[in-house]
Amino acid sequence: MAAFHPNRQSFSSHWLAFTSNRRFHQQPKMVSHAEGIYYYTPDGHQLYDSLSGLWCTPLGHGNKGIAAAINTQMGQLDYAPAFNVSHPQAFELADKLAEMAPGALNHVLFCNSGSEAADTALKLARAYWRAKGRPEKSKFIGRSKGYHGVNFGGISVGGIGGNRKIYGQTLDAYHLPHTWLPENRFSKGLPEQGEHLADALLAILEVQDPSNIAAVMVEPMAGSGGVIIPSAGYLKRLRALCDQHDILLIFDEVITGFGRMGTMFGADYFDVQPDILTCAKALTNGVMPMGAVLASSEIYDCLMNQPGDDYLIEFPHGYTYSAHPLACAAALASLNQLQQPGLLNNVADLAKVFEQAIHELKGLPLVEDIRNIGLAGAIQLTMDAKQPLRHASEISALCWKKGVYVRFGGNNLSFAPPFVCEPEDIREIFARVAEALSDYA
């Protein structure tokens, strides 16, 4: 296969997503194929995929079972109208998700990404309160360093300033403090301190009043913000406060869903039941764009039981590609693999190797903190006073040369290797990252 080397013209015609395009033009990072746990550049340079793409391909690249399912679906039904019409795989997938999800999250709205899932969930929360006759409950509470995608609802509730500051007016949203505490630095797994941080909700409610608040939305652990894990009791406390004040709790499980923490969902890990759960990414092993919003029976029934004729639409929301047949086929094949006996145990075993390997980097130059949970972790670097975010991007570029694709965001290097890694792959990834850190210093 001839390698494609873009010329300057094609560089500027493709405006890359969430990328420093000017830097990319100087130092393009291109991959042209992938297999298993590796990416390959057009020149044949092999790279470990240390983040499962963007947290989305835990079952590895070129997964034959998923490819076969998509092919079969393509020959059978390539597209079905999403409104007023549906198809069998959509129901099969919704049933499966409802069965896998914790508690009574039995009703599934499909969309095409984590961002769409976030905005769908926020709209659903408002629609629910309106259907209950409480339209004033319309504001949201998110958390500092939270990430819920890039649409207007998601950036409003999200807590990453850089993703909001150039876009002007957002939705009414308030933010809990993030759960990173200096005393928890270098914790292995769940940090000890920080349950009390949930009580910050009370301070917000004191000013805003629960009667105005629709929902609290958080990730069980902040993934894109740098794998920031709350202490064991934090989410339980948040749940209890939401219950006391009649506020919905939404978990954004776009990263934590489907095994990343060693349990099927983050809600299972923390044993906390949300009212709404969003997911995407690993739902299709990243192979087809798809997101989903799982709602409790209480919410579904409330919207279904609104007064009015049967021909009226209960929740006027959805996308041309909601429950796209090819995405449904990819999701069904992925979830079948994720449900194979032993798969999650394997993740839990690999997580022990991962924990040991990532924490061995403690003491290397610039390493300010290391965190891990399940098969996810981050190395937090000290900030350069003049150019705060420079180190992470440059160390990631060095890792690329050493054959490891490493995601950086803010002052963190983040890791979420595929579940199909061998223990020695994980050790090798961190050996190379350690070299990059030492070389950079």
**Cα 400 from Cα 433, distance rounded (Å):** 10
* Smallest distance, ligand PLP to C-beta of residue 277, A: 11
* Smallest distance, ligand PLP to C-beta of residue 393, A: 18
First to last CA, the chain: 39
CB of 173 or CB of 434, closer to ligand PLP: 173
Asked if 119 is part of the footprint of ligand PLP (rule: CB under 6 A), the reply reads no
CB atoms within 10 A of CB 167: 11
Considering only residues 268 to 297 of the shown chain, the ones binding ligand PLP according to CB under 6 A are 280
User: Residue 394 in 3-state DSSP?
Assistant: helix
User: Residue 351 in 3-state DSSP?
Assistant: helix
Asked if 410 is part of the footprint of ligand PLP (rule: CB under 6 A), the reply reads no
Residue whose C-alpha is closest to residue 339's, from 70, 101, 49, 138: 101
* Smallest distance, ligand PLP to C-beta of residue 143, A: 11
Q: Using alpha carbons, list the distances in angstroms from residue 165 to 15, 28, 155, 158, 160.
A: 20, 27, 10, 12, 9
Any idea which residue has 């975010």 for tokens?
A: 389
Among 49, 252, 275, 369, binds ligand PLP (CB under 6 A): 252
Residue whose C-alpha is closest to residue 111's, from 326, 293, 300, 287: 293
**Cα 123 from Cα 146, distance rounded (Å):** 18
Among 37, 90, 108, 118, binds ligand PLP (CB under 6 A): 118
Considering only residues 129 to 188 of the shown chain, the ones binding ligand PLP according to CB under 6 A are 147-149
CB of 113 or CB of 187, closer to ligand PLP: 113
Stretch that binds ligand PLP, among 36-44, 134-142, 217-225, 336-344 (CB under 6 A): 217-225
Among 63, 66, 155, 219, binds ligand PLP (CB under 6 A): 219
Stretch that binds ligand PLP, among 99-107, 200-208, 250-258, 371-379 (CB under 6 A): 250-258
Residue whose C-alpha is closest to residue 332's, from 112, 121, 91: 91
Task: Give the distance from CA 431 to its chain's centroid.
Answer: 26
Asked if 408 is part of the footprint of ligand PLP (rule: CB under 6 A), the reply reads no
DSSP 159: -
Asked if 114 is part of the footprint of ligand PLP (rule: CB under 6 A), the reply reads yes
Among 66, 160, 247, 255, binds ligand PLP (CB under 6 A): 255
Element (H, E) at 217: strand 213-218
Comparing every residue's Cβ against ligand PLP, the nearest one is: 114
DSSP 3: P
Asked if 49 is part of the footprint of ligand PLP (rule: CB under 6 A), the reply reads no
Could you tell me how many residues of this chain bind ligand PLP (CB under 6 A)?
A: 14
| Interacting residues toward ligand PLP by CB under 6 A | 113-115, 118, 147-149, 219, 223-224, 252, 254-255, 280
